[in-house]
Structure 1
Amino acid sequence: MSTPTTSFSREAAAALARSKNEPAWLVAWREEAGEWASTLELPHPEKTPIQRWTLDVQGVHRPGTTVSATASLPSAIASQLPAQEIGALVVQHNSSVVYTRLSDELKAKGVVLTSLEEAARTHEELVRAHLMTAYERNEHKLSALHAALWNGGVFLYVPRGVVIEEPIQAILFADDAEATFVPHILVIADANSQATVVEHTFSALGDAPAATLLHNAAVEVFAKQGAQVRYASVHHMDSTAIDVTYRRAILEKDARIEWIIGELHDGNTLVDTKSILKGNGSTSDAKIISVGTGSQRMSITTRAVHYGLSSESDMITRAVMKNEATAIINGITKIEKGATKANGQQTEKVLMLSPKARGDANPILLIDEDDVKAGHAASVGQVNAEQVYYLMSRGISKEEAERLIIHGFLDPVVSEIPVEGVREQLQRILERKLG
């Protein structure tokens, strides 16, 4: 039986934590979050009435079956894996991590890759110092609920100076609409380290499930001095699921984060991706695409907050809207007082494929310092008729011409996905959603 948001409490959070034999510090930590969850309000995203969404069911704890080899994973998960063995992989099935692999080579370098639940026991100091300090427990009701309920999750620690060449992959999968599906990904990249993380979140809920799956997820990336992190993510869940995802990165001196995001979920979506450029010379580059179909409602916000001198951010968001889908695309660049020589740029573009679809592009610049550069561009429109005509004059049908233009519109993000198999999967999802 699911737990209504309105009745979730301190006692319920503590009871769940104790039932999983979590350490005492985490029980108390969740207990406090449970109390906040019973009092805080929902967030208020721009022009998106999420209070009408089914956010009052959190599901029940239903862990998957732990396996020792990828061949034993459920077929829906196994089908997403490449033929060659992956050196670093974490798989979450419903409410728990069921498989983890880290090569001996990376272990020898001091790299840690495990479920976040396990890391809370084995790497308490690192977890306690970072967990939900970028995305705080008391921001709003959904963050408090996430803190009280997160399960499974991914913990990655990259030691000072270690460069990981191959992408670390995380697969998060749900096939039970009544399961609590609240993963938290925590990445700590120590000074002058480098890593690429590829996260793939999807579901297979079957026809007309009796319950609504609420994916209430969070990602936190901490890039220490000179560290470089590339984080790629593809989300595509069933239309009956709701995707709530908050991503945060805190960048120290000369650190860099690159976000490559495919928001291809079929249901209602609330996502917020934020880079905090704390250190001098830190940089953030965010590339995000989204495709809206049916009657889904989407709120997609990308933020960069500059504190460091000579910090730089760039945000590119491209959305394609079909049928009666609605998307609110927000780009927010904030340059704080003292962040001299900062440079913040952003571009939001929405392509409309239906007269009933709606896409709002809202570029926002908040500048509290004089000696900076900042710029924005936004557009909302239909497929360019002149481009279609040109392609048709070369013997291409109108339908194929429009398809080529749309794929070209999204290609700046699709081509950046760092794993060929994930990139191909993304292209298949696009074909399905745009077909």
Structure 2
Amino acid sequence: MSTQIVLPIDRAGLVELSKTRQEPQWMTTLREQALELAGSLELPKLEKTRIDRWNLASYGTYKAAAALTTLEQLPESAKSLLQNEGQGHPENLLVQKNSGVVYNSISDELKQQGVVFCSLEEALNSHSELVQKHFMTVVSKDENQLTALHAALWSGGVFLYVPKNVEVNVPIQALFLTDDAEASFSPHVLIVAEQHSSVTYVDNYISEGNLNHLVQNGVVEVVAKPGANVTFASVHNLNDSVTDLTYRRAVVENDASIEWIVGEMNFGNAMSDTTTILKGNGSTSDAKIICVGTADQKLNITTRAVHFGKSSDSNMITRAVMRDEATAIINGVTKIEHGATKANGEQTEKVLMLSPKSRGDANPILLIDEDDVTAGHAASVGQVNPEQVYYLMSRGISKAEAERLIIYGFLAPVVSEIPLEQIQSQLQHLVERKLGQ
């Protein structure tokens, strides 16, 4: 199969673009190989979701982005996400607009500690060996057509490196904005936390205008070395003219931890897969995911923990609220490999449906190949409890307000865990916006 059938870009054009951007030879070669793979690999097979029926043809083309002279040039929807608790814009911030990074800042204090926070494109030159060591190793380019296309076409992105024993006490923030239907939008986030380091990273994805079914094909890779602690919070709020496809994955080594906090607040079709590979003994993973579906959205949200390490621990909580004719497939997968003795895996998936035409499927899956472990799951799908509404109304609360309070209570276990107050507020606002409250 010709790669030109997959995307309107040929191998020669891809190589020339890579050279124009002065990428190292190993990246040019990787892009070539990935584009060739994209021509032969299939789309991922998702549980109860025919992703092959989605409009996945519009990737746009790479367009160089002009740097921002001031953050005031951003739209109001973007600026509202960048406030630093009333102290102006945060010091440690990266902004990608369409194909490229247009703003990047890092405090002198973090620089002196050896922290690297820059665009992945910049890191290809300034930290090439470090990037090469980890890029597309947590998520492989040959997994399926989407990962291959991402490896071939990614641009912009984030590289965050935290040296050994460094504790970053302030959140590192990134904003990804798309407003050009002709420009590619496939950022790659690579986070490497060395031994006994800690960091909190927060990002937001937003869009402006009619983007004509543009595809956001993003990948997140997190490497948590022994004893490292990483908190990763992300809110996706792309409009209904964008299809959002995202793989997030972490490899967690001995006594290291990853905390995922994800808000899937898109208005278009979306697929996300958030996976932790618990490679090390004593490694831990905690994932809290919420999503809200409206109109005729189709959502496929998977959270996964794969245990290899002894005494490893994972916990997953997913909450989904569906209205109108939206459909959500919520998958929780706990896999405990042979040899992962004393591992513990817990998961809960709950779907709340606000319309008789909406649909939510919760699929808890336990795959256990070891005897000396503990694991459990819980799942529920249902509508707002009329007895709860009646009770609140008997206390003088209107029916609409009663339903609103029940919905927010349903989502609270995740919303309350967002590590930044302004992101919590933003997520609350997005829930209100999507549910028309």
TM-score by length of 1: 0.97
Cα distance in structure 2, aligned partners of 1:31 and 1:14: 7
The aligned counterpart of 2:138 is: 134
Greater shift, 372-381 or 57-66, is seen at 57-66
Alpha-carbon offset, residue 76 of structure 1: 4.3
Cα distance in structure 2, aligned partners of 1:15 and 1:335: 45
- Name which of 190, 194, 197 aligns with 1:193: 197
Alpha-carbon offset, residue 16 of structure 1: 2.6
The aligned counterpart of 2:432 is: 431
Are 1:158 and 2:162 matched, yes or no? yes
Are 1:298 and 2:299 matched, yes or no? yes
Alpha-carbon offset, residue 9 of structure 1: 4.6
Please give the secondary structure, in 1, of the residue aligned with 2:267.
Answer: coil
Structure 1 residues 4 and 20: alpha-carbon distance in aligned structure 2, compared to 1, 3 A threshold: farther
Letter in 2 for 1:104: D
Structure 1 stretches of 5 or more lacking a match? none
Answer whether contact 1:8 1:37 (CA < 8 A) is retained. no
- Name which of 97, 111, 114 aligns with 1:110: 114
The aligned counterpart of 2:151 is: 147
Answer whether contact 1:9 1:35 (CA < 8 A) is retained. no
Cα distance in structure 2, aligned partners of 1:167 and 1:51: 38
Are 1:204 and 2:205 matched, yes or no? no
Cα distance in structure 2, aligned partners of 1:74 and 1:401: 34
The aligned counterpart of 1:353 is: 354
The aligned counterpart of 2:96 is: 92
Greater shift, 321-330 or 29-38, is seen at 29-38
Cα distance in structure 2, aligned partners of 1:15 and 1:138: 23
Please give the secondary structure, in 1, of the residue aligned with 2:231.
Answer: strand
Answer whether contact 2:252 2:283 (CA < 8 A) is retained. yes
Greater shift, 128-137 or 56-65, is seen at 56-65
TM-score by length of 2: 0.96
Cα distance in structure 2, aligned partners of 1:26 and 1:68: 30
Structure 2 stretches of 5 or more lacking a match? none
Cα distance in structure 2, aligned partners of 1:185 and 1:296: 26
The aligned counterpart of 1:181 is: 185
Letter in 2 for 1:185: V
Cα distance in structure 1, aligned partners of 2:168 and 2:135: 23
What are the residue-to-residue correspondences of 1:284-323 with 2, within 5 Å?
284-323=285-324
What are the residue-to-residue correspondences of 1:257-272 with 2, within 5 Å?
257-272=258-273
Alpha-carbon offset, residue 71 of structure 1: 3.4
Answer whether contact 1:279 1:307 (CA < 8 A) is retained. yes
Alpha-carbon offset, residue 147 of structure 1: 0.2
Please give the secondary structure, in 1, of the residue aligned with 2:102.
Answer: strand
Letter in 2 for 1:44: K
Cα distance in structure 2, aligned partners of 1:205 and 1:383: 34
Letter in 1 for 2:319: R
Cα distance in structure 2, aligned partners of 1:30 and 1:205: 30
Please give the secondary structure, in 1, of the residue aligned with 2:141.
Answer: coil
Please give the secondary structure, in 1, of the residue aligned with 2:137.
Answer: coil
Alpha-carbon offset, residue 80 of structure 1: 2.5
Please give the secondary structure, in 2, of the residue aligned with 1:375.
Answer: strand
Percent identity of equivalent pairs: 59
- Name which of 149, 170, 175 aligns with 2:174: 170
Query: Aligned pairs, how many?
Result: 430
What are the residue-to-residue correspondences of 1:196-235 with 2, within 5 Å?
196-206=200-210, 209=211, 211-235=212-236
Alpha-carbon offset, residue 200 of structure 1: 0.4
C-alpha distance after superposition, 1:334-374 (max 9, x if no partner): 00000000000000000010000000000000000000000
Please give the secondary structure, in 2, of the residue aligned with 1:347.
Answer: strand
Structure 1 residues 68 and 110: alpha-carbon distance in aligned structure 2, compared to 1, 3 A threshold: farther
Cα distance in structure 2, aligned partners of 1:29 and 1:274: 24
